A and B are shown apart, each in its own frame.
Chain A
Amino acid sequence: MNTMETDMNDMRQQSWLKSTGWFGWVWNLLVVLGAIATWNHYHTLMDSYEKAILAGMVPTVIWLGYFWPSLRTYLLAVAATTLLGIWQYAGHGNSYDLNEKLFLLKYLLSSQSAFMWMSAFYVLATVTYFFALFIRSDYAGKIASWMTWTGATFGLTGMMMRWYESYLINPDYGHIPVSSLYEVFILFSVITALVYLYFEQKYRTRALGGFVMLVVSAAVAFLLWYTFDREAYHIQPLVPALKSYWMKLHVPANFLGYGAFALAAMVGLAYLVTDTLARRNPESAFVRAMPSLEVMDDLMYKAIAFGFAFFTIATILGAVWAAEAWGGYWSWDPKETWALIVWLNYAAWLHIRMSKGWRGRPMAWWALVGLLVTTFAFLGVNMFLSGLHSYGQL
Chain B
Amino acid sequence: MSGHFLHAVTSMRMAVTLLIMVALASVIGTVVPQSLPSTEYVIRFGPFWADVFNRLGVFDVYASGWFTTLLLFLVFSLTLCVSEHFSQWLRQRHRVDKAPAMPENARPFSCFMDRQTLQMWLESRGFRVLETENEKGVSMFAQKGSHRRLGYFLLHGGLLVILLGALIDTNPLLRLKLLTGQVVPTTFQTPPEKADPHSYLPPDSGAFRANLSLRPGEKSDRVWLATPSGYLIHLLPFVIAVDDFHIDYYANGMPKGYTTLVTLFSPEGVPLTRSEISVNKPLQWHGYTLYQSSFDDGGSQVWFTARQPGGLMLKNSHLRVGESINVLLGGQNWTLTLLDFQLHTVIHRAGGETINHGPRMIYRMTAPDGRRIWLENFLRPRTNRHGQSFHMLGVRHSPSEPFRTIALPLHKGDDRPFWTWLNRLSGISGNDQTSLLVQLFVLGGFDEIDRFVRKNIEETDRKNIKKFYISILLDKLDTTLKAINPTADARWRNDAIMAADALFAHRVPLWLQMTRFEQRLETGLIVARYPGKPLIWLGSLLLVAGIFLMLYTQPVKIWIHWTDLPDRPEMRMVIRCANPRQTDYWRQAVLGLCRGPENEHHGNRHE
Cα distance A385–B16 in the bound complex, in angstroms: 27
Could you say which of A237, A320, A341 contacts B27, with CB atoms under 8 Å apart? A341
Cα distance A359–B248 in the bound complex, in angstroms: 56
**Chain A residue nearest in CB terms to B293:** A327
Could you say which of A316, A334, A352 contacts B16, with CB atoms under 8 Å apart? A352
Question: B291 and A240: CB pair below 8 A?
Answer: no
Chain B residues positioned under 8 Å from A172 (CB to CB): 250-251, 256
Question: B250 and A173: CB pair below 8 A?
Answer: yes
**Chain A residue nearest in CB terms to B579:** A298
Q: Most chain-A CB neighbours within 10 Å: which of B27, B30, B124, B584?
A: B30
Residues of chain A from 323 to 345 with CB closer than 8 A to chain B in the complex: 323-330, 332, 334, 337-338, 340-341, 344-345
Chain A residues positioned under 8 Å from B289 (CB to CB): 327
Chain B residues positioned under 8 Å from A355 (CB to CB): 12
Stretch at the interface among B401-409, B463-471, B544-552: B544-552
Q: Most chain-A CB neighbours within 10 Å: which of B29, B280, B544, B580?
A: B280
Q: Does B150 contact A (CB under 8 A)?
A: no
Q: Does A305 contact B (CB under 8 A)?
A: yes
Total residues of chain A contacting the partner, CB 8 A:
59
Chain A residues positioned under 8 Å from B191 (CB to CB): none
Chain A binding surface SS class: helix
Q: Does B56 contact A (CB under 8 A)?
A: no
Could you say which of A240, A344, A356 contacts B22, with CB atoms under 8 Å apart? A344
Q: Does A273 contact B (CB under 8 A)?
A: no
Shortest beta-carbon distance from B302 to chain A in Å? 26
Shortest beta-carbon distance from A111 to chain B in Å? 14
Total residues of chain B contacting the partner, CB 8 A:
60
Could you say which of A173, A240, A295 contacts B280, with CB atoms under 8 Å apart? A240
Q: Does B107 contact A (CB under 8 A)?
A: no
**Chain B residue nearest in CB terms to A295:** B581
Question: B166 and A316: CB pair below 8 A?
Answer: no
Could you say which of B30, B293, B533, B584 contacts A326, with CB atoms under 8 Å apart? B293
Q: Does A348 contact B (CB under 8 A)?
A: yes
Q: Does A104 contact B (CB under 8 A)?
A: no
Question: B352 and A234: CB pair below 8 A?
Answer: yes
Residues of chain A from 251 to 266 with CB closer than 8 A to chain B in the complex: none
Stretch at the interface among A159-167, A213-221, A225-233: A225-233
Question: A243 and B257: CB pair below 8 A?
Answer: yes
Question: A344 and B23: CB pair below 8 A?
Answer: yes
Q: Does A150 contact B (CB under 8 A)?
A: no
Knowing A329-B536, A341-B27, A348-B16 touch, does A234 contact B581 (C-beta < 8 A)? no
Interface string of B551-585 (1 = CB under 8 A from A): 10000000000000000000000000001111011
Cα distance A89–B352 in the bound complex, in angstroms: 23
Cα distance A316–B257 in the bound complex, in angstroms: 25
Question: A244 and B15: CB pair below 8 A?
Answer: no
Knowing A240-B278, A385-B30 touch, does A232 contact B252 (C-beta < 8 A)? no
Q: Does A236 contact B (CB under 8 A)?
A: yes
Chain A residues positioned under 8 Å from B528 (CB to CB): 327-328
Cα distance A170–B526 in the bound complex, in angstroms: 32
Shortest beta-carbon distance from B125 to chain A in Å? 6
Question: A325 and B585: CB pair below 8 A?
Answer: no
Stretch at the interface among A3-11, A70-78, A119-127, A138-146: A3-11
Q: Does B328 contact A (CB under 8 A)?
A: no
Shortest beta-carbon distance from A234 to chain B in Å? 3
Could you say which of A309, A356, A385 contacts B547, with CB atoms under 8 Å apart? A309
Chain A residues positioned under 8 Å from B251 (CB to CB): 170, 172
**Chain B residue nearest in CB terms to A341:** B23
Cα distance A234–B547 in the bound complex, in angstroms: 39
Residues of chain B from 508 to 539 with CB closer than 8 A to chain A in the complex: 526, 528, 530, 533, 536-537
Knowing A240-B258, A323-B533 touch, does A294 contact B580 (C-beta < 8 A)? yes
Q: Does A308 contact B (CB under 8 A)?
A: yes
Q: Does B325 contact A (CB under 8 A)?
A: no
Q: Does B368 contact A (CB under 8 A)?
A: no
Shortest beta-carbon distance from A165 to chain B in Å? 14
Interface string of B124-150 (1 = CB under 8 A from A): 111000000000000000000000000
Interface residues of chain A, those whose CB is within 8 Å of chain B, are 3-4, 7-8, 11, 13, 170, 172-173, 230-237, 239-241, 243-244, 246, 294-295, 298, 305-306, 308-309, 312-313, 316, 319-320, 323-330, 332, 334, 337-338, 340-341, 344-345, 347-348, 351-352, 355-356, 381, 385
Q: Could you list 25 examples of A-B contacts with CB < 8 Å?
A: A3-B581, A4-B581, A4-B584, A8-B589, A13-B125, A170-B251, A172-B256, A231-B351, A236-B254, A236-B354, A240-B258, A246-B280, A298-B581, A309-B551, A319-B536, A327-B282, A327-B528, A329-B536, A332-B34, A337-B27, A341-B23, A341-B26, A351-B16, A352-B16, A381-B30
